[in-house]
Structure formats: structure tokens, C-alpha cells
Amino acid sequence: MGATLRAVRAFVLLSGFYLLGLLLLAVLGGIDWAAWAWAPGAVRIKIFFVSVVLAIPVVQGLFMLRTPRDDEPGGLPVTEADEPRLWATVRELAERIGTRAPDEIRLTADVNAAVGEDARLLGLIGGRRRMYIGLPLMSGLDEAGLRAVLAHELGHYSNADTRLTALTARGRVQVARMIETFHAKADAKVARERARQEQKAGKRLAKGRTAKEVDTAGAGITYRTMAKIYTAYGNLYLRATLSGARRQELAADLAAARIAGRDATARALRAIPALDAAHDFYLSSYAGLGTEFGLLPARGEVFGGVRHLLAARAEELAGLREDLPDEPASPYESHPPMAERVARVEALPDDGRSAEGTGPALALLSAPDTALAAVEDVSLSPEARRMRRLAWPELVHESMSARVARGTEELRAAAGGAALPALLDAIDAGRAWEIAGRLPRSEEASAATGRVAREFARPGLRRGLSAMVTEELLRSGHARWQFSWTGPATLDLPDGTPEQLTAALDAATADLPDTAPLRVLLAPLAAR
Amino acid sequence: MARLLPLIVIAIALYFWIKNRRAAKGGSGGSGGSRAKNAEAAARLGLLPADRLDTENLTPPSAVHTAAKEAVQAGDWAAGAAYVEEAGRDWYERRRRISRLADAAVQDDAWLLAWRAARPEDPAAAAVQASSLVYLAWEIRGSKLAKHTTDEQFASFHRVLKQARETFAHAQELAGDDPSPFIGELPLAMGLGYPHEAVEAIWAEIEKRDPLNYLAYSSALQYWCAKWCGSHEAALAFARRGAERARPGQLLTNFVLEAYFEQESYDSDLEPQEFYNRPEVVAATDAALVDLAAAESVLDPADPRLAETRHMVAWMLYWQDRYEAALAQFRLVDGYIGTAPWSYAGDPKGRYTNVRDYTAAQVLKARGE
């Protein structure tokens, strides 16, 4: 089947979406007509009501597909005056690809670059073009690599030479979005129903009656049914058009290699999965370390900090770049597996351009730090923007200390709010397992008795005790959390203390407990 | 074609006959009817009904052991200490008593803590504590498959085993001539997957003290099995070495049978009917029968070594279609079945009665009753 024929099929499939909607409406209308003719009055009204409820999402679906409501374009728009070099690069690449340059460039906080277009009339007429460029992506690529990524994305505007294959790609996005919308509607309905029932239950309680269980199984079922019908159709659609989409991705890679150079393109493709993983890790282990305690890194560092991590762990990342995923992320993934894409590009003949553009991609921006701060301002939630900002060493120390403090809570509660000295006295008095028994327990631990129960309780007791002692050491300034871009945060203790502490905690939580070593360790703290 | 027909009929009949026979023997039980008939045969021969079989124990409870267990659980650790001392230099008996006390300490160890606090350098207390930690670890882990065992269970399991290793080292320092704490470490070697050299070092210490100790062979054989840290060949070679060196009546011949049994349980490709009838297995069974006859005049009839060997021999005889001989063993051990090969089945009672009752029915059939 040629490209044209496949495109015609895609068009038919997209039209089928309308036909499906109209068919569903006709079926509902037919039922109403039959009800009008034969059913008794009360039943008739009920049937009308249900059919209208069912018809609403179908009609909405038809309109949804006609004018897909675009997501609010995110990110920070930058004008040509703001970022002349970036704009010049994009324009030059667009020209070489042979497509119209975007009308907007937006900087985002993702490890990604993307293009979008406000299309009209089923996507047959193009509209305003936007290009999204993620600063974390720029942080991890060299200039030539970024050019390759941008060239690839621009290739999607003009891809595969016909408007109709563009329609295929657009249709796929619209289908997915429609199913998503149906599910979102169903979820919203379930949430509303839950809130309503909970409110009702509250009222029942206020009147002194027992509250009924909140049951939301029925809510949103009409939407979900519609979603199911459309999902079935959408699957058919996606499967039918997917091989074409994957071919287009490979074509865009080859175009990128032609324009940005073979080696730069391969380098960028290899770098992206590694960057993605590194960025996820960075967000959870560094930038997000203190969010639960209301702490964030300094302005500009939330998305900019990943640069330090990338620099410090260059070797690890090099390893990740060698190890590429060779399976598609999902059966509906429009991109071929990364290993295949890289292999295709690397199979091209050497173009002698491997030394081009090896400077950092961020240098294309007129003021990278300002841009990072500005993107942060538009990307963070209002809640996050109100958090306390700290430099990295303080952020790590304070977040980890807060974590230690939280780690003491369970044991403190189990010991009836006792402070460390009182807890040690209780251990000496043989009450350790009674206290540990009040710590939160797993199902297996709750079922255990005797010595087995004690073994289940021991780690919790030791952990809590360790947290309480560490808290004392931190509070008195004997300990400090050290942060590092190459490894996890470590607790800095005076010489000899780590071994002493381990042995002392073991002794205090042993079967024949001995708290003396811990007391020795804590004595100088109390003196201060 | 017409001439071939009778042949085909015979072939088909033969096929179904063999298939039925295998099904009846294979443990899946055959039809409900034949099971009931077999059970009836067992009853006629005076064998016990399923509900009177004890799957926990290998022998009837002994008054001495029960008294010691009750005394320590009442807090009298000195009674426990005396119970171990009474074994004297009978290292098999001493190890057995330590193991029993260790088992009693898994649920409640208040008496053991008191014993250790009062006599920190008591070799018996240290050996009991070390083994009880191994049993405790398995109690924590439970017997479910790894995927049904939680991370918390695994973490505690490994923590307690590590502690057991340290405690064995301490107990071995205090051991003197006693091989107990070395024998006790073998199950730990299995659980923690000690390297072969480490186990050989432990084995050397055991050989110095009591080279043909039945319990030492029992534990070490498990280590050398394919399912733990060795192979079928290693297990068999190990068991044969012991059997060759032992005097008749020491019952180390049992472990050659056990090695075959382990191999057959592990390797699902083996057809038991064929495997257990191989000449070397039949010869090993005969050797065990001779060993048993010798042991009868040396050992107390209530000795668990006798019972353990009889169960394994009965299993072999059953597969070898030696039903009269198998029945003779079943008669001597019926009632207490807490051992291999039955304990390896999901339903030990089911496997035992299946095999025993089938044997009984075959015996009656052969006698023409």
C-alpha cells in the first residue's frame, strides 16, 4: 500500500469517527421513536431521559473532534528580541527543512522539544505554529545536538510531503485526546458524586443516623461506556496508522542528520533517554528533596540545578547512553524504539561533521540563568512559589534534618511522648518490647507472637532510636548533613562516632539490652 | 488390516492398563473407588486411619524430652542445662537435645535469656541460642514462596541469620570436643549459601570430633543437594562416602537413599517408576535393609534414626514393587510420619496413605485375599 493509499485510509478512519457518532445518535433516536410508539407513559419518560444523557457526550464528542480544545500553551514565550540566536537557529533550520518557521517559541521545564499547530477544518488547513523547547533538555545537549532535535521536530511540520499524512498524525493526537476527555469527564462525575454522597452522609450523621457507605460505582458510567466504544475505535485507528507514524519518525531523524550532522544527531538521540532518567532522578532526589517540608532550591536552580548533576555524574550518564531501550514504550507509541533510531542514523556514511557545535546548547540563550528563573516562575505552582528558598547545602541539610525529626515521631508517640533520656530509662526497665509493640506494624508483624514478633519490632525500635539520637546530634551541632552531586547525602559525624553509634544502637536494642554505650555517647551533648 | 485389529486392541488395552497403574501409583490417587478400596486393605492389615497419623513427629513423644521442654518453658533453665549434660559424650544425643531446646526457644526464650545472662560462657546455652536463631529466622520467613514473602520478612530473616552466624562462632569457641555447634551451623550454611570451602572447613571440625555423626550427615547432605548449594553428583558422592565408612547399624546408608530421593524430587523429568528401579538404587535399598537389621540390635527401638530410615526404605520398596517388604516397614513406623518423603508433599498425609494403602492392597492381592 502506497503512502497516498494509506493516507486515504487514515482519512476514511477519521471520517468513521463522525459516522460512529451519528450512528450512535440514530440508535438512540430509534429507541426513543419505539418508546413513543409502544411504551407506557412513565417508562417513556425514563427512556427519553436516559437517551438524552447518553446523547450528550456523543454530540460533545463530535464537536470535540471538530475543534479539539487545545491545552493552554505552557512555558515562557520568548520573542526574537529576547533570544536572537535561538530564533536565528530555528529559522535557519526551518528554511533548510523547507517549512514555515514557528510563530512562537516557548521555553519549558521539560526534557523535551515539541511542535504544535492550531489547525482548522480537520487539520486540512494549518494554523499558528508553536515550538516548545525544554531548558532541561538544552542543559544536557550540545549545540549541534539541540539543532538535530529541533530539525527533527520541524520536520514534523512538513513531514512526509503530503498534507494528508500530517492529517494522520494530527488525527492520532485528536483521537487520544478525545478518549482522555471522556475519561476525565467520568472521573469528574465520580468525584462530584463522591462529594455529594459524602455531604449527604455527613448530614445523616448530624441527624444521628448511621452514614451509608459512599458508593460511586454507578456515577460516570455513561461517559465510561462512550469512552469504551471510542477507545475500541481509537485502537483500530492507531494500529492502522502506527507503522506510518514510526516511518515518519525515522524520516525526520534522517532529515535531522542531513541538516545537523550524523554524529550530532546520533549523540542527541542517545542522550535523550539518559537525560530523561537523570532529570527524573534529579527532581525527586535534589530539587524535590525538601518540598514536603516547604523547601525549594534558590530561584533558577529548580530546573537549572540538573546541570550540576549532569556535570558530576558524566561517567554514569555515558554508560546510560550506551544502553538504549530496544522496545517501544507502549503499543501506541508513535516513535520507534530508540535503539533502532540510533542504529539507522549511525548507519549513514560519515559526513565529517562530528566536531561541529560541541559547545553547550544553553549558550544559544542570551542569558541562560535569567531564562531558567523566568521559566521557573511560569512553571511552578503558586504553592511551590511560596516555599522557602535555600542554597543547595542548606537545602539538603534542612530537608534531611526534617526527615530525621519526622522519623522520631512514631517511636516518641509509642513511648507516650517520652524524650530520649526517659526512653533509655524505659529500655533499662525492660519495657522496650512493650513500647516497640505500639509502633505501626505490618500484617505479618501483627500476626506474629513471642520471639518472632520481637524480631519484627526490632528494626522499628532501632530506627526510631537512631532517629532520636541523630536528632540530638544535629540539634547540638555535632552532626551535619553533607550534600553531594555524585552520591546520596551523608551524615557528617565527629571522628569515631559512626562506629560507636552503630554498636551503641545494637546494644540498646539487643535481647539483653544495654543502654550504657548510648548514654556515654550522649553525655557530652547534654553538657553543652 | 483384519489381522492387525487384535494387535491394536491389545496395544490399546495395554496402554490403558499401564496408564491406570501409573496414575494409581503416581500419588495423584487414581480413582476415588480404588483409593477407598486401598484404604480398606490398609485397615484390614491393622494400619491406622488418616486422622490418627501425626505429621509433626517422627516418633511417639518421649517422657524425658517432654519433661525438659515443660521445665524450661516454666522458666527453669537449669533443668534444660541438666538435660543437655545428661547426654554426656553421646554427640548424636547431645546435638538432638540442643536442637530440641532450640526449637522450644523459638516461641518463648525468656528462660534462655536468663540462662545466658547467668552463664554467658556456657557452651550448651550458646549452642542452643545459635540454633534457635536459625529456627527463628525460618519462622520469620515463613514457608511461602519468595513472591509471597514480604521485604520485611526477608530483611528480618537475613538479619537473624547473620546474628546466628556470629553466635555459632561464639558457641564453637566454647565447644571443646563437642561437634554440636558445628553441625548446627550446617543448616545456616544452606540458608546463607556458604561457599563450598567454608562448609568443608566446618566439616573438617566435625570429622575431628565425631566423623560418622548421623545428624551431621543429615544436614550436610542437604547442603550438597542440587536444590541448595551442590549437585546430584556431589550429594550422592557425599552420602556414599559416609555409608562406606560407617559400621553396620549406624544407618548412614539412609543418606544414599535420601540423595536419590532428592534427585527424583528435584528433577521433574525423571520417571519415578523407572528411576527407583535402577540397579544402583535397588542395591542401595538392599544395603539399607541390611543396615536396619544390624541397627535393630544396637539402637533403642524408639530411636528416631531407625524410624527415619524405615520411612525412606519403605518408599523405595514401594516403587520397586516389593510390597511385602514395604509393608513390614510401614507396620513398624505407622502413626508418626513427620519426615521425608511424606513431608516433601503439599499434603503429607495424602502421600503417605496413598503409598501405604496401595502397598497394603497389593499385598492382599498377592496373598490371594
Q: What is the mean pLDDT of residues A236-241?
A: 72
Mean pLDDT of chain A: 81
Looking at the predicted structure, is the pLDDT value of residue B20 above 60?
no
The answer to whether residue B155 neighbours chain A at the CB level (below 8 Å) is yes
Among the listed ranges A156-165, A338-347, A362-371, B57-66, which one has the minimum average pLDDT value? A156-165
Domain B63-221 CATH (choose: 1.25.40, 3.40.50, 1.20.1050, 2.20.25): 1.25.40
Task: Using CA coordinates, name the residue in chain B closest to A447.
Answer: B140
Give pLDDT, residue A153. 87
Predicted confidence band of residue B149 (pLDDT cuts 50, 70, 90): confident
**What grid cell was written down for A63?**
464537536
CA distance A459 to chain B (A): 8
Q: What is the mean pLDDT of residues A118-134?
A: 70
Give pLDDT, residue A374. 93
**What grid cell was written down for A90?**
530555528
Looking at the predicted structure, is the pLDDT value of residue B3 above 60?
no
Give pLDDT, residue B282. 97
Q: What is the mean pLDDT of residues A184-194?
A: 69
Instruction: Identify the CA nearest to A282 among candidates A75, A490, A486, A491.
Output: A486
Mean pLDDT of chain B: 90
The answer to whether residue B160 neighbours chain A at the CB level (below 8 Å) is yes
Among the listed ranges A116-120, A310-314, A438-442, which one has the minimum average pLDDT value? A116-120
Predicted confidence band of residue A163 (pLDDT cuts 50, 70, 90): very low
Task: Using CA coordinates, name the residue in chain B closest to A450.
Answer: B107
Looking at the predicted structure, is the pLDDT value of residue A165 above 60?
no
Looking at the predicted structure, is the pLDDT value of residue B174 above 90?
yes
Looking at the predicted structure, is the pLDDT value of residue B132 above 70?
yes
CA distance B162 to chain A (A): 13
Pick the residue with more confidence: A48 or B99?
B99
Query: B290-306, pLDDT tens digit by residue?
Result: 999 999 999 999 999 99
Looking at the predicted structure, is the pLDDT value of residue A69 above 50?
no
Pick the residue with more confidence: B12 or A180?
A180
Q: Please name the member of B107, B116, B156 whose beta carbon is closest to the beta carbon of A455.
A: B156
CA A485, A490, A494, A496 torsion-angle sign: negative
The gap from C-alpha B305 to its chain's centroid, in whole angstroms, comes to 10
Q: Please name the member of A442, A444, A451 whose beta carbon is closest to the beta carbon of B136.
A: A451
Chain B residues closer than 8 Å to A448 by CB: 140
**What grid cell was written down for A107?**
521555553
Query: A254-275, pLDDT tens digit by residue?
Result: 889 998 899 999 999 999 988 9
Chain B residues closer than 8 Å to A459 by CB: 152, 155-156, 159
CB contact under 8 A, B106 and A452: yes
Task: Using CA coordinates, name the residue in chain A closest to B160.
Answer: A455
Chain A: which residues have CB within 8 Å of chain B? 442, 444-445, 448-452, 455-456, 458-459, 511-512
Q: What is the mean pLDDT of residues A485-511?
A: 91
Q: What is the mean pLDDT of residues A204-233?
A: 58
**What grid cell was written down for A430?**
525492660
Provide the residue ranges of all domains of chain B, joining segments of one domain with +: 33-60+225-369, 63-221
For B125-153, the three-class secondary structure string (H helix, E strand, C coil) is HHHHHHHHHHHHHHHHHCCCCHHHCCHHH
Q: How far apart are CA A21 and CA A58, in angstroms?
A: 6
pLDDT > 70 in chain B, percent: 91
Chain B residues closer than 8 Å to A450 by CB: 106-109
Looking at the predicted structure, is the pLDDT value of residue B21 above 60?
no
Give pLDDT, residue B306. 97
CA distance B108 to chain A (A): 6
Residues B87/B93, Cβ–Cβ less than 8 Å = yes
Highest mean pLDDT out of A165-179, B26-40, B155-169: B155-169
Looking at the predicted structure, is the pLDDT value of residue A160 above 50?
no
The answer to whether residue B151 neighbours chain A at the CB level (below 8 Å) is no
CB contact under 8 A, A444 and B139: no
Predicted confidence band of residue A203 (pLDDT cuts 50, 70, 90): very low
Amino acid identity, residue B101? L
Give B208-271 as a DSSP string: HH-TT-HHHHHHHHHHHSTTTTS-HHHHHHHHHHHHHHSPTTS-TTHHHHHHHHHHHHH-TTS-
Residues B118/B111, Cβ–Cβ less than 8 Å = no
Please, what is the end-to-end C-alpha distance for chain A in angstroms?
84
The answer to whether residue B310 neighbours chain A at the CB level (below 8 Å) is no
The label of the residue with cell 533520656 reads A421
User: What pTM did the predictor assign?
Assistant: 0.67
CA distance B290 to chain A (A): 44
**What grid cell was written down for B265?**
524430587
Q: How far apart are CA A432 and CA A458, in angstroms?
A: 9
Residues A107/A76, Cβ–Cβ less than 8 Å = yes
Q: What is the mean pLDDT of residues B243-259?
A: 96
Give pLDDT, residue A67. 44
Looking at the DSSP assignment, which residues form a beta bridge with residue B114?
none
Cis peptide before B179, with omega less than 30 degrees from 0? Answer: no
Pick the residue with more confidence: A325 or A204?
A325
Q: How far apart are CA A500 and CA A518, in angstroms?
A: 8
Pick the residue with more confidence: A354 or A412?
A412
Give A496-514 as a DSSP string: THHHHHHHHHHHHTSSS--
The answer to whether residue B207 neighbours chain A at the CB level (below 8 Å) is no
**What grid cell was written down for A168?**
494522520
Give pLDDT, residue B202. 97
CB contact under 8 A, B136 and A455: yes
Chain B residues closer than 8 Å to A444 by CB: 142, 150, 152-153
Pick the residue with more confidence: B152 or A238?
B152
Task: Using CA coordinates, name the residue in chain A closest to B135.
Answer: A452
Other CB atoms within 10 Å distance of the CB of residue B158? 15
Looking at the predicted structure, is the pLDDT value of residue A211 above 60?
no
Give pLDDT, residue A170. 59
Q: How far apart are CA B115 and CA B91, in angstroms?
A: 22
Looking at the predicted structure, is the pLDDT value of residue B330 above 70?
yes
Give pLDDT, residue B58. 92
Q: What is the mean pLDDT of residues A240-250?
A: 75
CA distance A519 to chain B (A): 22
Three-class secondary structure of residue A325 per DSSP: coil
Give pLDDT, residue A359. 84
CB contact under 8 A, A452 and B113: no
Give pLDDT, residue B29. 47
Q: What is the mean pLDDT of residues A468-473?
A: 94
Q: What is the mean pLDDT of residues B15-42?
A: 67
